[in-house]
Structure 1
Amino acid sequence: MIDRLDRKILSILQEDATIPVAEIGRRVGLSTTPCWRRIQKLEEDGVIQRRVAILAPKAVNAKVTVFVSITTSQHSEEWLRRFAEVIRDFPEVVEFYRMSGQVDYLLRVVVPDIEAYDSFYKRLISRIDIADVSSSFAMEQIKYTTALPLQYMQMEKEKAV
């Protein structure tokens, strides 16, 4: 079970996973070894899934974000499995969700420009039958974070001292 020290460690790592363990320990009031053990346990338990570098979209020419709403008349597990396989082949798709409501699936696609999106769209519809595709281009990114809110975590009850 997670305690307040684990939550502090997670908060620090979500901001910058390159901070040395000794520094994380100092910030949360632990020596290096116990801090490292906690991080290892969080990884083993699957709380920390992976550590990655977050790139600047403009620097890698992926400056256009498109939200793609997809509706289909196919609702079988076989079709979903095939659709997921097709989507995995498109590196432009950085997020992929099955939705409730009017839209069946939502994709977040990043490309250099509208022409690249048009090429993506044509390749997508050539590979799988889709009833309707609606694309919305992001005009401006107002907020972006990969950090998850930690205040909702189930916490271990603190022991009275």
Structure 2
Amino acid sequence: MDKIDKQILAILQEDATVAVADIAERVNLSSTPCWRRIQKLEEEGYLLRRVALLDAEKLNVGVTVFVSIKTNQHNAAWYEQFSATVKLIPEVVEFYRMSGNIDYLLRVVVPNIAAYDKVYQKLTQANALFDVNASFAMEQIKHTTALPLDYADIH
């Protein structure tokens, strides 16, 4: 990865629909070498996929809930069941295994508290959980899908 690759990634993180010719112009390359670099970034796994970001409010899922979960079961069978349950709940848009005081953190998007309660019921009925704590986001202050590129190795 070099400086031009990082520039290409920065452009694509902002808008994956930018034409190769426009990217090439912005990074001072001709289209074919730029296209080859993009293909190489995909092959090497830097570009995982290209997606569209949707408006949660317009889709009526504007309520964000952070759900922290503690369990007293730390075995593979429990984890597999829990993980399978969570993956089947479309309102769960992020799912992390954590260090520290909580075991798992979920980010859930729903239209309202009643919809969250249905998610909560799915989680608790399918799995033995020690503690479930929900925090409702009052305001989104920063949201980005762009990753910092300053730490990428440059050759």
Regarding TM over 0.5, the answer is yes
Residue 39 (1) aligns with residue 33 (2): no
Number of aligned positions between the proteins:
155
Q: Provide the residue aligned with 1:109 in structure 2.
A: 108
**Deviation string, structure 1 residues 20-78 (Cα, Å, up to 9, x no partner):** 00000000011111111111111111110000000011011110000000000011122
**1:1-161 alignment to 2 at 5 Å?**
2-156=1-155
Structure 2 counterpart SS, 1:62: coil
SS in 1 for 2:123: helix
Instruction: Give a deviation string over 1:97-135, Cα, whole Å, max 9, x none.
Output: 000000000000000111100111112111111110000
* Equivalent residue letter for 1:143: K
The alignment's C-alpha RMSD in Å is 0.6
Gaps of 5+ in 1: 157-161
| Distance (Å, rounded) in 2 between the aligned partners of 1:112 and 1:16 | 27
Identity percentage of aligned residues: 59
Runs of 4+ in structure 1 off by over 3 angstroms are: none
Alignment partner of 1:141: what SS? Answer: coil
Where does structure 2 lack aligned partners over 5 or more consecutive residues?
A: none
SS of equivalent to 1:61: coil
